[in-house]
Amino acid sequence: MNKKITLMGMSQNELEDYCLSNDFPKFHGDQIFRWLYKNNNQELENVSNIPKKLKEKIKNDCDINLLKIKKKSISKIDKTIKFLFETKDYKFIESVSMIDSDRHTVCISSQIGCNVDCDFCATGKMGIDRNLKVGEIVEQLIEVKKNTNIPITNIVFMGMGEPFLNYRNVIESCKIFTNQKAFNLGTKRITISTAGVLPQIDLFIKEKHKYKLAVSLNAPNDLIRDKIMPINKKWNINKLMLSLKNYNFFRSRVIMFEYVLLNGINDSVENAIELSKLLKNFNCKVNLIPFNQILGNYKRSEDTTINKFAETLKKYNIRVLIRWSKGEDIDAACGQLATKHES
């Protein structure tokens, strides 16, 4: 059995404890923390401020990394890069790097697969294998940073998995992302997207996290949502909205509602009007996502329908943005991450 300690994902406190328990001064914990996360986890030999003895100890005691890059696909259309990573237990996850002028957004995974089972999502069709560890979440960012050389400005938990079903590890990784000695990203630069796991939405509000919240609504009523998102049978739109009201009252923060447009299912003008009535009292933005084709029954809405849907929302004073897909030629768009190479 591998008794090695894994450094990736450890907090500064944990690293300080590691130093103390091995008779090294506590402040080396701070140096290891910076080396791991801020300095791109470069070769330990090249780190000048960590004493040689401690470096040797680390080499003997610890595993540093948790992921291996298995494949890097670069889109010919828009330079989006999809990374396929292999975990220590030979599982696969994906992350996507998207560059839009001065914005470099990395879409990361929180689980291997997902069991929320939304009918239109390729990840959902995989089922769940396991939650990702803090280190596996954080290392996705480190690898993308090392391999793109472009500063990362935003993180979205919109890759594989339901982040609120791996709540603690996601929040712990966000603490590392925002730590000044690590990635030093502002809390508003991180968006956590959930299909609507109510107990964790409530907890997120109670714990007063400042990360941006995105909720995948995808339907204006229960009839449609029940059909495409089984989670709605457990926590329906009414319950969801009641919880989200607390978020709104609490600190006038904008909630992002995501809405995948499925041809003939949820994309009519009536659906848009119903949606705007549902959201009229919310401080929110709607992100319309044209459906990205996966195997199954759904089709992408026509561009004219998508634009009409957006116009209708605007007419009813709902802020809206159409998120045209990136990296379509490499299957890197929303809902397409499913580590296809396995089959």
- Which residues carry out catalysis? 94, 334
Environment class of 112 (CB within 10 Å of its CB; exposed 0-12, middle 13-18, buried 19+): buried
Long-range Cβ contacts of 67-73 (<8 Å, 24+ apart):
67/93, 67/136, 67/139, 67/140, 67/143, 69/143, 69/147, 71/341, 72/147, 73/330, 73/332
CB of 218 to ligand SAH, least distance (A): 5
What is the distance between the terminal CA atoms of the chain, rounded to a whole angstrom? 30
For residue 277, give both structure tokens: 């009535």
Q: Which does 8 bind (CB under 5 to 8 A by kind): ligand SF4, ligand SAH, none?
A: none
Residue 96 in contact with ligand SF4, rule: CB under 6 A = no
Classify residue 271 by its DSSP letter.
H
Q: Which of 94, 162, 172, 267 binds ligand SAH (CB under 6 A)?
A: 162
Q: Which does 218 bind (CB under 5 to 8 A by kind): ligand SAH, ligand SF4, none?
A: ligand SAH
Stretch that binds ligand SF4, among 68-76, 114-122, 178-186, 273-281 (CB under 6 A): 114-122
Residue 93 in contact with ligand SAH, rule: CB under 6 A = no
Residue 218 in contact with ligand SAH, rule: CB under 6 A = yes
CA distance to 42, 151, 328, per residue, from 38 (Å): 10, 12, 31
Q: How far apart are CA 330 and CA 332, in angstroms?
A: 5
Window 249 to 288, contacts with ligand SAH (CB under 6 A): 258, 260
Q: How far apart are CA 1 and CA 232, in angstroms?
A: 42
Stretch that binds ligand SF4, among 52-60, 76-84, 120-128, 261-269 (CB under 6 A): 120-128
Q: Which of 145, 291, 310, 327 binds ligand SAH (CB under 6 A)?
A: 291
Q: How far apart are CA 66 and CA 47, in angstroms?
A: 20
Q: How far apart are CA 307 and CA 305, in angstroms?
A: 5
Stretch that binds ligand SAH, among 142-150, 166-174, 232-240, 290-298 (CB under 6 A): 290-298
Stretch that binds ligand SAH, among 7-15, 145-153, 192-200, 205-213 (CB under 6 A): 192-200
Q: Which is nearer to ligand SF4, 83 or 291 (CB)?
A: 291
The residues that touch ligand SAH, with contacts defined as CB under 6 A, are: 114, 120-121, 158, 162, 193-195, 216, 218, 258, 260, 289, 291-292, 294, 334-335
